[in-house]
Amino acid sequence: MAGLWIVGLFTRLVDLQVVRKDDFVKRARRQQERTVELPPRRGAILDREGRPLAVTAAADSVFAIPSELDQPEPIAQALAPILGIPARDLVKKLGEADRDFVWLARRVPAAVARQIRARALPGVRLLQESTRKYPQGSLAAALLGYVGMDNQGLAGLEYRYDREIRGRPARVTFLRDAAQRSYAAQGRGRWRTEMGEEVEGESLLLTLDAAIQHAAEQELAKAVSTWHARGGSIVVLDPSDGAVLALASAPGFDPNRFADADPEARRNHPIADLYEPGSTFKIFAAAAALEAGTVGPDDLIDCGGGILTIGSTTIHEHGNNHWGVLPLADVIAHSSNIGIAHVALGLGKAPYYRTVRSFGFGQKSGLDLEGESIGLLRDVSSWSALTLPTMAFGQEVGVTVLQMARAYAAIASGGVLPAPHLVSAIRRADGRVEQRAPAAGKRVISELTAATVRSYLTRVVENGTGRLSAIPGFTVAGKTGTAQKAAPGGGYSHDRFIASFIGFVPAESPRAVIAVVIDEPKGKIYGGDVAAPAFSALGAETLRILREAAHDVTGRVTPAFLTADLSSLRQATIGPVLGAQVIPASLRDRGHGDESGSAREVAGEVPDLAGMSGREAVRNLARAGLGARLTGSGFVVSQSPLPRTPAEPGTVCSVILSLETPPTQRTQSEDEP
């Protein structure tokens, strides 16, 4: 009998301690433990120089243990003014007496955390967790994106690379004794981590340059403000491999407070918004015709006296111009709508469509960001008789700013279309770095065709509609564009435009492709007036950041020339140094007339220098408290910033001189509506 009892007891012990052990352990844990998963520490996002754009910091969060509270109302009344939460809402959370854990406020400011500690309210505690910070504020916000309350990526790179950046969370366990009393309440224990410490996520190393991005955002904001525009976009690419150096949007927002921004401000406009590009699209018809051999570099193009009639529709030249016959280079330089339409008609629908498609239009670029639009490029079968000629000058096609910058990069790089990319490497938690090689580009036109188109774009800046895009010491290649926006119900608006300039510099060995697009400028609408000056300023700063030395027309490196007082230089001495960067060291005599008795300059504004000699231009700028960077010799034919533009004291203005007869009246740059 005793033996049977011992066997039965042994069997019961085996059942409890071996067979059903795991079940009992789980039940015990459910009764005695409360586990809270904390958001993990996300990896950093760094620019190409290692500068932090997104980091993880520590922040205190407030929680409560309702089961420890006998009367939640006094606790709620004490916490309400500190947390800024209505007392009734806190009472509801604290009144759940059967709960061991409830969040009251997440990631509170340090001052709030200090008050909570000082009050030492029963059942109320602080727990340190991680929070996402963007130390550069609004810089590259649309590109970086932002994260939610649980540190999950919601937009931009934070969303696209969430799995890599997120890391492994920590788990914090709260213990109770067999009598269901809190160990913390008895002073017998503290919070502890289970399943190991948290593991920080991987870090992203970007191609983006924070300095270039900052300059792009500054110039974009200045252009939008100056022209009272609705918004705008800027893209800066390295044409050699498609590396994105800057991607700027306006309006912008602060990702540290993303919930305060409206959805329009959070959009990544350069990759998400479609627009009709206008005359910046003309180079693709020229490239297609040159590549196919339907037009030669020296061929003359019939511009029809400014009129082209197709069926019952008559297309007119912009600006009431009436050009007759122009070489293809001048068709591009003077931005002739009729001339480029004839080029496209001579090429034919299918070859033109294939070329446009090969330049990346009507498809995503492959950029490692979500939200990129494919654009709008209808199949040839749906084209009307007007589609081919009007698409040639940038209508009936929808593009993104990124697509345009990429296509111009193909011209800049000798005919190879690059693959845009943002992430150059990923740094693992253990310190290992995985390099991300960019995808190989694909050839879309020959080197000879690309070189020919580059020469046309250089003429646009030197003799055409893009004069204000010039950068002292460098040869610029680019194209202006002024496109009417589509009107509701069909047709085109007569008072809403998109002004743009897209180009690259230096033209002979491009380091950067820059696309500037301004949405609905007021006052002036032409790309040559609105977008080209922003290109010039940003291009100069980009080349400085990239350490690209300026050269004069002979190819020699241009020195900086510093003088204490330019008025002390003889006229014969000024000529040889006008190609240098002339920086007045003394800005005395502000407000006084010069030798010619010119009027006092308006403080805070850039004076109009048109037709002045280099000496006169420098002295007028000096009186306004501004510096000068001169290129060439003779008389002023171009300046940046434009006349009467607001300028801070000390701003250096770019001035281009020519030996041609000085103009008697300043003329607007020509472009096309």
* Interval 435-454: pLDDT, tens: 998 899 999 999 999 999 99
Q: Is the separation of the CB atoms in 497 and 518 below 8 Å?
A: no
End-to-end CA distance of the chain: 109
Residue ending a domain, choose from 190, 206, 222: 206
Q: Are residues 398 and 461 in the same domain?
A: yes
pLDDT at 36: 61
Q: How do residues 265-318 score in pLDDT, each as one tens digit?
A: 999 999 999 999 999 999 999 999 999 999 998 889 988 888 888 888 888 887
Nearest Cα neighbor of 76 from 102, 98, 94, 103 is: 94
Q: Is 165 helix (H, G, I), strand (E, B) or coil?
A: helix
As for how many domains the chain has, the answer is 3
- Domain boundaries, position 631: 560-658
Residue 21 pLDDT class (50, 70, 90 cuts): low
Same domain, 536 and 602: no
pLDDT tens by residue, 391-428? 999 999 999 999 999 999 999 999 999 999 999 999 98
pLDDT of residue 499: 96
Domain end marker among 158, 181, 206: 206
Check whether residue 581 and residue 497 sit in a common domain.
Answer: no
pLDDT of residue 411: 97
Q: Output b/e per residue, 348-382; b: 16+ Cβ within 10 A.
A: eeeebbebbebbbbbeebebbbeebeebebeeeee
pLDDT tens for 140-160 read: 999 999 998 878 899 999 999
Q: What is the residue-averaged pLDDT of the chain?
A: 81
CATH classification at residue 146? 3.90.1310.10
pLDDT exceeds cutoff 50 at 669: no
- The answer to the question of residue 339 being in a domain is yes
Q: What percent of the chain has pLDDT over 70?
A: 79
pLDDT at residue 601 is higher than 80: no
Report the pLDDT value the prediction gives residue 195, as an integer from 0 to 100.
Answer: 42
pLDDT digits (tens, 9 = 90+) for 93-142: 887 656 677 888 888 888 888 888 888 888 888 877 788 899 999 999 99
Q: Does the residue 551 lie in any domain? A: no
Is residue 367 assigned to a domain?
Answer: yes
Q: Are 54 and 156 in the same domain?
A: yes
Residue 17 lies in a domain: no
CA distance 666 to 655: 14
- The per-residue pLDDT for 34 is 58
- From 545, 580, 602, give the residue that closes a domain: 545
Residues 242 and 141 in one domain: no
Higher pLDDT, 551 or 508: 508
Return the C-alpha torsion angle 11, 13, 18, 19, nearest 10: 50
Q: Is residue 80 part of a domain?
A: yes
Question: Which residue, among 542, 477, 522, has the nearest Cα to 280 in the 3D structure?
Answer: 477
Amino acid at 646: P
Distance (Å, whole) CA 450 – CA 358? 14
Asked if residue 216 and residue 175 are part of one domain, the reply reads: no
Q: How are beta strands 170-175 and 33-38 bridged, if at all?
A: antiparallel
pLDDT at 574: 32
pTM value is: 0.73
Residue 444 makes CB contacts below 8 A (sequence gap 6+) with 355, 358, 359, 410, 415, 416, 417
For residue 667, is it within any domain? no
Does position 56 have pLDDT exceeding 90, yes or no?
no
pLDDT score of 305: 86
Q: Where would I find the H helices in 254-400?
A: 263-266, 269-272, 282-292, 328-333, 337-347, 349-358, 387-392
- 425: CATH: 3.40.710.10
Q: What residues pair up with 243 in beta bridges, in sequence order?
A: 238, 421
Above 70 in pLDDT, residue 518? yes
Tally the C-alpha atoms within 13 A of residue 368's C-alpha that lie toward its C-beta: 23
In terms of domains, do 319 and 436 share one?
yes
DSSP category for residue 666: -
What average pLDDT score do residues 555-580 get?
36
Q: Which residue has the tokens 């608006």?
A: 493
| CB-based contact 309:338 (threshold 8 Å) | no
State mean pLDDT over 477-484. Answer: 94
| 501 shares its domain with 524 | yes
Q: Is 562 left (phi over 0), alpha (psi -120 to 50) or beta?
A: beta
* 449 within domain boundaries: yes
The strand ranges marked E within 162-225 are 170-175, 192-194, 203-206
pLDDT at 5: 67
- 319 lies in the same domain as 425: yes
Q: Which two tokens stand for residue 323?
A: 């050009």
Residues 504 and 455 grouped into a single domain? yes
- pLDDT beyond 60 at 519: yes
Pick 83 or 461 by higher pLDDT. Answer: 461
Tell me, yes or no, whether 277 and 305 share the same domain.
yes
Give residue 599's pLDDT. Answer: 36
Q: Are 274 and 539 in contact (CB under 8 A)?
A: no
Which DSSP category does 207 fall into?
S
Q: Are residues 165 and 308 in the same domain?
A: no
Nearest alpha carbon to residue 379 among 406, 401, 397, 403: 397
Domain-located, residue 23? no
